[in-house]
Structure 1
Amino acid sequence: MKKNIPMFLAGLFCGAALFGGSVAYAAGILATPTTDLDQRITLDGQEIELIGYVINGNNYFQLRDLGDQLGFGVSWDNDTRTVVITTEPTGQTENPANVATTADPYHAAAATGSRYQPKVGDQILCDDGSTYTITDVSRWDKNMFQDGPLPELPTATCDWSLMPQVELPAPEIRRYSSAGQDYLFARNIYESRRMLYTLFNAIGDNPETWKDGKPVLHPSENAKVKISLTIPTEITPQTFWPWRSSEITNLFNSCPPGTYYMEAWDVYKNGVFQRTEYNIMHRI
């Protein structure tokens, strides 16, 4: 039997919090990994190790990790954009075309919005059904003038729960051939979250959009700022790399009200990682 589950950030975590409470489905909520040794978990009397994620004070676990421990399968159906749960472990079920399993590290990470760090030999399932092999990641963390690894995601400097609730985009892998070169564009959901949280804090730091501990609304009671983590094809965004938070904060502070479209993509050429591109567009 199969069950389809919509792709939301919190929806891929176990729905039962250890300490009670309800599941939060709003995107933009920060999930902080924890390996607290005081949190013991047993399965049929045997202690097991699971990485928990703290969301609003409650602990959640990734659905795939639970499947590995409990013996059910979790995979990604690229055609229908769904997570597929089966009553057998993923490794024991037939893997239909265009389904990424734990052998595809990109989809495993992107399904929860967590960070994917490519490694030589990784094979990524593309949206066209082909498989792209990564051969060189020497430029990772060295994106043109970037001296080292990026810091952790921004933390809240204001109440993010009052911000526009934004749905994280689905994993997406685009493969192109041009002038004999083999290109891959992988949507980077983790870095999309970096852009989103940076914008959240910029909203909270600007008196035109934040006052008395809450967002400033138009006289019509409509929000002054709207956000989308996908960019319509008819829009030509501004593109920059490596990561610079000032590219977002300066654009926002120049004209705060409006709609902000943002995306982040990892770019590969002939299997070689090139850079992570950040794209943003503002419309009043």
Structure 2
Amino acid sequence: MKKPYTSFVTGLLVGVALFSGTTAYAAGIMAERSTNRIFVDGKEVQVEAYTIHNNNFMQLRDVGKAVGFNVYWDSSNGCVQVESGKPYTGTAPQQTAAAPTDGSRYVPKVGDVIRCDDGTDYTITDVSRWDKNAFSSAPLGELPIATCDWSKLPQPEMPQAEARHFTSGGQDYLFQRNLYETRRMLYTLYNAIGDNPETWQNGQPVKFPSGNDKVKINLTIPADVTPQSFWPWRSEQITELFNSCPPGTYSLEAWDVYKNGVFQYTEYSIYVS
């Protein structure tokens, strides 16, 4: 018998019923162990099959093994998945995940495999701290809403998604840039600008006499400086710092930190110059 798989499956009416013994009876259907010989590419294979109403039924995974395609149970979607172009394993493939590049929220899950910038894969094994250590006593709510006209403020370019993988002291670390939480920092700073009379008056940002902006914003931090870092999230870390010295250049970043596959915390960093 030759491939393709479609002919094989259609011709034998492959089923997924399980029986024991040479004859089985269930739901009014009589099944007998099939005595038909089965060949794949001219070579006989041993596959357990049963005859029901003159049709041969066998487990789909047995067909996958014999013919050479993957079959597995997809628990996330509650269905059987067939991958015709991949060899049989019987198990669901690892899913490569990455933080969204559009700045939307990413919630890590056990089993996520993060493709790192160095070409390696990093598997997440524990996210029990996600709702606790990362966000204090509970998950964070939605992003801040505007209390001033944000369109009149600097519009820094969102950085690229990154996943930095490195080892130190025998420990395996992943730092994954969190663009969603970076936006939380940015919007909090926007509102702090709008709430401070030194930087916002009469519905407009206050500028220097030269016409230059009093506040500049970057969403990356230079590698050669030491920023202030904090976790879990506390908006006052940004607002109080801003109100202490409003004019300046503010650099913001947020990173999810993993150690040996275990989520540790979301680290927020800010640098003012």
Q: Classify the TM-score, shorter chain.
A: 0.5 to 0.7
Q: Which amino acid aligns with 1:171?
A: A
Indicate how the Cα distance of structure 1 residues 194 and 144 shifts in structure 2: closer, same or farther if over 3 A, else same.
closer
Partner of 2:97: 105
- 1:104, distance to aligned residue in structure 2 (A): 3.4
- Of the candidates 195, 198, 202, which is equivalent to residue 185 of structure 2? 195
- 1: CA distance, partners of 2:96 / 2:201: 45
Q: How does 1:253-268 map to 2 (within 5 A)?
A: 253-268=243-258
Q: Deviating runs (4+, > 4 A) in structure 1?
A: none
**Secondary structure of the corresponding residue to residue 112 of structure 1:** coil
Query: Quick check: which has more Rg, 1 or 2?
Result: 2
2:263 is aligned with 1:273? yes
User: What is the alpha-carbon distance in structure 2 between the residues aligned to residue 186 and residue 132 of structure 1?
Assistant: 11
How many angstroms apart in 1 are the aligned matches of 2:203 and 2:96?
A: 43
Alignment check: 8 A CA contact 1:105 1:116 kept: no
TM-score under structure 1 normalisation? 0.62
CA distance in 2, matches of 1:180, 1:165: 41
1:105 Cα deviation (Å)?
Answer: 3.0
- Normalising by structure 2, we get a TM-score of 0.65
Deviation at 1:134, TM superposition (A): 0.2
Secondary structure of the 1:232 match is coil
Shift of 1:145: 7.5
For 2:249, the aligned partner's letter is T
Q: In the TM superposition, what is the alpha-carbon distance from 1:180 to its structure 2 partner?
A: 1.1
- State which of 106, 109, 116 in structure 2 corresponds to 1:126: 116
**Match of 2:226, as an amino acid?**
T
Secondary structure at the residue paired with 1:231?
coil
Q: What is the Cα deviation at residue 176 of structure 1?
A: 1.1
Correspondence for 1:137:
127
Identity %: 68
Match of 2:239 in 1: 249
CA shift in 2, pair 1:144/1:128, >3 Å: closer
Does the Cα contact within 8 Å between 1:209 and 1:256 map onto a contact in 2?
A: yes
Deviation at 1:144, TM superposition (A): 6.5
Structure 1 gaps, min length 5: 1-90, 92-102
Ranges in structure 2 where 5+ consecutive residues have no aligned partner = 1-82, 84-94
The structural deviation recorded for 1:235 is 1.1
Q: Distance in 1 between matches of 2:190 and 2:268?
A: 16
Partner residue in 1 for 2:158: 168
Q: Deviations over 1:89-130 (max 9, x none)?
A: xx9xxxxxxxxxxx43324x2x11000000000000000000
What letter corresponds to residue 163 of structure 1 in structure 2? L
CA 213–257 in structure 1, closer or farther in 2 if over 3 Å, else same: same
CA distance in 2, matches of 1:224, 1:181: 43
User: What does residue 72 of structure 2 align with?
Assistant: none
Assess if the C-alpha contact under 8 Å between 1:227 and 1:261 holds in 2. yes
User: How many residues are paired up?
Assistant: 183
SS, match of residue 106 in structure 2: coil
2: distance between equivalents of 1:239 and 1:260? 13
Task: Provide the alpha-carbon RMSD of the alignment.
Answer: 1.9
